[in-house]
Amino acid sequence: MALTAEQQQEIEVARDGTAATRRPTVPALEALLFQAIPVLDHGFVRVVDYMGDDAAIVQAARVSYGRGTRAANEDRGLIRYLMRHRHSTPFEMCEIKFHVKLPIFVARQWIRHRTANVNEYSARYSILDREFYIPAPEHLAAQSAVNRQGRGNVLEGAEATRVLRLLQEDATRNYDHYLEMLNEDEAGRKLDETRSGLARELARMNLTLNTYTQWYWKTDLHNLFHFLSLRADPHAQYEIRAYADAMMGMVEAWVPNAAAAFRDYRLGAVTFSAQMLAVLRRMLTGEAVAQESSGLSKREWRELMEALGRAG
């Protein structure tokens, strides 16, 4: 990820500033404020602002007036209880705002999480940067034969080289045509004084989906955990998972007790259906249960065996 000199200067100015406040702050997250954490080849995610901490979750659950005098292990225990029993509103008391730079195709996945406030860079008003996501070779894979929305084996040799070349050539050519239609360069200066150029809101349609965009994304902790439970999952697409992993590190700095509970009860946990639980109880009594006699479909049986660490 390469920040421009202007962007780096803006970050340094922001990090040098301080403000006196009576509201709770989190030193570990304060240390990360405004820092652009690299993601993919040109992307980043950074925390711009936040409200609340672990104590705010406890305060909301107890509807108390202050931070209280209870022992830290009691607060930790309450947070774990709230997470374990899927209480939501206490976690909604904490909010965080991210600045994210990401490929357009990742943004289109991300925007499906509608429980956030989003403001995206406007390509109707400004010219997008000449930056495209090109996968690293180890992430260039064929279509999975068993998962219609997943990847299979990594491409190798001449096939991988050709795909990478096509991705780079197409993105570069379309961006060049984008500027040509605009009749502007990347700085917004006219290329030919005799031509008007196409409107920016129309010229942008020619750009490839691996072009980078940026947005501010603000959400509460409950909905952030929902986002992370889906996007930090090993089954999520690698590109959006890379952002989720970076954000998870920031959440751990911000609300360590809530983040630990989330890892234990959401990210590292599995859910059994009533039918699966019945099969598991039969197994615990010593019964040899097979898929055919389990009442589960083949897919459900496979998922149960995977969760138990057994061969299907």
Tell me: do 124 and 12 sit in the same domain. yes
**pLDDT score of 144:** 64
pLDDT band for position 12 (cuts 50, 70, 90):
confident
Is the pLDDT reported for residue 84 higher than 90?
A: yes
Q: Give the number of domains in the chain.
A: 3
- Which of 209, 228, 250 is the endpoint of a domain? 209
Tell me: do 290 and 147 sit in the same domain. no
Q: What is the pLDDT of residues 274-292, one digit of tens each?
A: 999 999 999 999 999 999 9
Is the pLDDT reported for residue 3 higher than 80?
A: no
pTM of structure: 0.90
Q: What is the pLDDT of residues 85-144, one digit of tens each?
A: 999 999 999 999 999 999 999 999 999 999 999 999 999 889 999 999 999 988 988 776
Q: What is the pLDDT of residues 177-224, one digit of tens each?
A: 999 999 998 888 998 899 999 999 999 999 999 999 999 999 999 999
**pLDDT score of 7:** 77
Q: What is the pLDDT of residues 17-58, one digit of tens each?
A: 777 888 889 999 999 999 999 999 999 999 999 999 999 999
What CATH number should be reported for the domain holding residue 93? 3.30.1360.170
**pLDDT score of 146:** 63
Tell me: do 17 and 104 sit in the same domain. yes
Tell me: do 139 and 171 sit in the same domain. yes
**pLDDT score of 65:** 60
The residues assigned a catalytic role are 231
E strand or H helix at 120, and its extent?
Answer: strand 117-120
Tell me: do 169 and 243 sit in the same domain. no
The domain in which residue 256 lies consists of 1-130+212-269
**pLDDT score of 13:** 80
Is the pLDDT reported for residue 69 higher than 60?
A: no
pLDDT band for position 148 (cuts 50, 70, 90):
low
Vertex 230 angle, CA 79 and 237, to 5°: 145
Is the pLDDT reported for residue 153 higher than 60?
A: yes
Is the pLDDT reported for residue 61 higher than 80?
A: yes
Tell me: do 52 and 113 sit in the same domain. yes
Tell me: do 60 and 146 sit in the same domain. no
Phi-psi region of 126 (alpha: psi -120 to 50; beta: other; left: phi over 0): beta
The percentage of residues in the chain with a pLDDT greater than 90, rounded to a whole number, is: 75
Is the pLDDT reported for residue 235 higher than 90?
A: no
Is the pLDDT reported for residue 6 higher than 90?
A: no
**pLDDT score of 255:** 98
Contact present, 231 and 238 (Cβ < 8 Å): no
- Which of 163, 188, 209 is the endpoint of a domain? 209
Tell me: do 98 and 181 sit in the same domain. no
Is the pLDDT reported for residue 64 higher than 70?
A: no
Tell me: do 118 and 17 sit in the same domain. yes
Mean model confidence pLDDT for the chain: 91
Tell me: do 280 and 261 sit in the same domain. no
Q: What is the pLDDT of residues 248-277, one digit of tens each?
A: 999 999 999 999 999 999 998 999 999 999
Tell me: do 45 and 72 sit in the same domain. yes
Tell me: do 55 and 145 sit in the same domain. no
Mean pLDDT of 152-163: 87
